[in-house]
Amino acid sequence: MIEDRIQILRRAAKVSSRENNAQVWCVIAGNEKLVDDIAYNAITASDRVQILFRESIKIIDKYTAKRFDCIMLKGEELKISELRNRCSEKGGASIEITDVHIKTIPNLLVIVGPEESMKSFNGEATRQKTEINILAEDHTSSFIKAELNTRLKLPSFLRSTMTPILDMSDVVLSAILVSVVDEENIEAVKLISQNNSLFGIDLKKTIQDKEKLRIPEKEKNEAQTETQSESPIETEIKEESVQEDQISESEQETKSDNE
């Protein structure tokens, strides 16, 4: 009895902590192995966090192709914090977006890409006078994969010589949360990021689109749950009606035999 009460109290405390836990969003970037690990941990805690999307990104320049993965999550602040700590331990970059950010700061973008490309992006944004405020930033401490551009025509001996050198190169990934001061400049900032081979996320649009998809799924799941809960009752009613029909038929046959 005492153990049962302890378990009940623990469950109640768990539910209470979840109800009081704010919902936040998070973008995590790194190599494929790191993002696989974060995705697995998010899936195993699906009651506390959900994956909004995952992208495998390949950035191609004149000589090289750089690969990294990016995942966006939404969930309880405590769980997201736990996943961010795990990401940091494994060398990834992460950006947290709170409800305060979404409600009070306009024109939010998350931009992810190689550190050198990020420096070029900041320089070009300044030159074009598209004013942005950097609210948060993070960098990977583990390196993303870089390889020779397959479209680059090189002799096989030269390609085989350069490939190990690229494998040893240190390509650091950066992630920043920015606010575009003037709304009319959002598309210009997106274009600058694309021109510099960066991956950009329009937070307002992404969150709104995902919420629109989530609401019909939620309603569908609730409808299925209601149908499943009602089906046993309907089955019992049908069985009772069949039994009543059988009884009435047997009574009629008995009356006809007596006559």
- Output the CA–CA distances (angstroms, integers) from residue 66 to 50, 171, 181, in the order listed: 27, 8, 31
Q: Give 69-105 pLDDT, tens digit per residue.
A: 999 999 999 999 999 999 999 999 999 999 999 999 9
Which 3 state secondary structure label does DSSP give 172? coil
Closest by alpha carbon to 195, among 107, 142, 127, 146?
A: 127
Query: If pLDDT is split at 50, 70 and 90, which confidence band does 237 have?
Result: very low
pLDDT of residue 1: 52
Query: Residue 57: is its pLDDT beyond 80?
Result: yes
Query: Residue 192: is its pLDDT beyond 50?
Result: yes
Q: What CATH number should be reported for the domain whose range is 2-202?
A: 3.30.70.1150
Rounded to whole angstroms, the Cα distance separating 158 from 209 reads 47
Rounded to whole angstroms, the Cα distance separating 235 from 194 reads 59
CA 200 to chain centre: 15
Rounded to whole angstroms, the Cα distance separating 156 from 153 reads 9
Mean pLDDT of the chain: 77
Report the pLDDT averaged over residues 5-23.
Answer: 57
Backbone angles phi, psi at 132, to 5 degrees: -130, 150
pLDDT of residue 209: 83
